[in-house]
Amino acid sequence: MTLIPAESLPPPSSWRPLRLQTLVVLRWLAIGGQTVSVLFVAFGLGFPLPLLACFLLIGLSVALNLWLVLRLGVSHRPTPLSTACQMVFDLCQLGGLLALTGGLQNPFSLLLLAPVSVSAASLSQRATFLIALLAAIIASLVSLWHLPLPWLPGEHLVFNRIYVIGIWVSIISGLVFVSAYINRVAHDARQIADALAVTELALSRREQLSALDGLAAAAAHELGTPLSTIALAAKEMRAEVEPGSDLAGDVELIIEQAARCRAILTKLRNLGSDDKDPFAAVPLTDLLAEVARPHEGRGKAILFYHENTDGPEPVVQRGVGLLYGLGNIIENATDFARSMVRIEAGWDPESVSVVITDDGPGFAHELVARLGEPYLTSRPRDPQGPDANKPGGLGLGVFIAKTLLERSGARLAFENIDPNGHARVRISWPRSAIEIAAEGARKF
């Protein structure tokens, strides 16, 4: 039996969303560097350059940063499309500055690699390829169409065309290497992180299940002696009370419930054992009838349906965990139902499902999203409260049932089918997960 179904494992991530703060800080650094460079060239070196156009492009980056921070907040994690659009803006803004200040002859043309590096580390291969292609196009355009490189007034600095082509080739080579290498390294790092996360999840689940088995065995051991004492005292009382009296009926009820508790404890003791009974494989509908039978005499109608079916009925293993988990869900539905519990079984070649619905008040709306957590219950615990005559609990029943059913590969969903209540529990398995244990039993 697999602990976690393969189809439930998360696929390796193709990208890691950066916080908006990271992108904004990087852009502020670029803005600061561009501003200092333009001011130093214009006033420190005295080289003529189009200041107004340059500061207009720098102002666009400032406006974008302020708009992103005020609109989304620095803790926002942008989508891949939003991140890619920001990289495209940064490339276009940098390309515009290069076109105004000498094109590829400007030593800062190397900064075309920066947005591609950020994209390769955080976005998918396809997005990185498109952004690297845009950078190559911008490098090609500014190599052909650009204003002269700012230089001493009255002098015109001329670069050999072959040298400019060499700069263009080096930038294109850098784009290819940076985008391919960083994206590959980041992808491998993401795969390792995902594998570690899945491993930690599997180990955590196994520890929880092992602890659950130990808790069940310990509880069965500790409760065995007082339960035997209760049963013995009840049998002695039965010999002393007058047959047919109300007290005799109460004593019989105590004996009956003690026997039921003993049967439950026996199941708990065998929770982790493997059943070798060759007749342990049964059709799904028979299994549901078996786990529902103890609750049929409680004044509630239990109705069975199997309409949404495709193919032969699945044959499942009568495992203790499966019996206990389904039985607990049906028992809870019977406790809260007004008059009826509906059990629907469905199957097709890929999946098997069981839907348990009652006509009771339904789940508390504030608890639906947290059902299955330990110590979570809406039942009263105060014996002096107004609902003291109703059943109380510690909130462990659904937790244990959910854990045992998930151990068999199931997924559970809790909901109310209308605003007035009517709780519904959907349990679904991949067909291969629930039938795999029954394959050997079919040979007998």
- What is the largest distance, in Å, between two alpha-carbon atoms of the chain? 126
For residues 421 and 414, what is the distance between their CA atoms, to the nearest angstrom?
Answer: 12
Q: At what angle do helices 113-122 and 20-39 cross, to 10 degrees?
A: 170
Query: Residue 302 — φ and ψ, nearest 5°?
Result: -110, 115
**For residue 1, what pLDDT is reported?**
35
Does the pLDDT at position 395 exceed 70?
no
Smallest CA-to-CA distance from 132 within 166, 164, 174 is with 174
For residues 64 and 92, what is the distance between their CA atoms, to the nearest angstrom?
Answer: 13
For residues 353 and 260, what is the distance between their CA atoms, to the nearest angstrom?
Answer: 28
Token duo for residue 185: 């390294």
Per-residue pLDDT band for 156 (boundaries 50, 70, 90) equals confident
Where is mean pLDDT largest: 5-19, 72-86, 254-268?
Answer: 72-86
Side chain identity at residue 286, one-letter code: D
Pairing label, strands 421-430, 411-418: antiparallel
For residues 242 and 335, what is the distance between their CA atoms, to the nearest angstrom?
Answer: 32
Task: Report the Cα 291 to chain-centroid distance in Å.
Answer: 31
Give me the residue spans of the domains in the chain: 20-201, 275-443
Per-residue pLDDT band for 132 (boundaries 50, 70, 90) equals very high
Does the pLDDT at position 144 exceed 60?
yes
Higher per-residue pLDDT: 107 or 320 = 107
Smallest CA-to-CA distance from 99 within 60, 138, 151, 48 is with 138
E strand or H helix that includes residue 83: helix 80-100
| DSSP code string of 55-80 | HHHHHHHHHHHHHHHHHH-TT----H
- Asked if 314 and 307 touch (Cβ cutoff 8 Å), the reply is no
**For residue 393, what pLDDT is reported?**
45
Q: Beta partners for 342?
A: 303, 357
**For residue 390, what pLDDT is reported?**
42
Mean pLDDT of 42-49: 88
324-369 pLDDT tens trace: 889 889 988 998 899 999 999 999 989 999 999 999 888 888 788 7
Residue 158: Cβ-neighbour burial (10 angstroms; 0-12, 13-18, 19+): exposed
Question: Token pair 């990185």 is at which residue?
Answer: 128
Query: Residue 16 — φ and ψ, nearest 5°?
Result: -120, 115
Q: Percent of the chain, pLDDT > 70? A: 79
Task: Report the Cα 106 to chain-centroid distance in Å.
Answer: 48
Does the pLDDT at position 321 exceed 50?
yes
Side chain identity at residue 394, one-letter code: L
Query: Residue 266 — φ and ψ, nearest 5°?
Result: -60, -40
- Cα separation values, 145 from 161, 291, 335, Å: 13, 80, 80
Q: What is the pTM of this model?
A: 0.48
- 275-443 folds as Heat Shock Protein 90 (3.30.565)
Query: Residue 358 — φ and ψ, nearest 5°?
Result: -125, 165
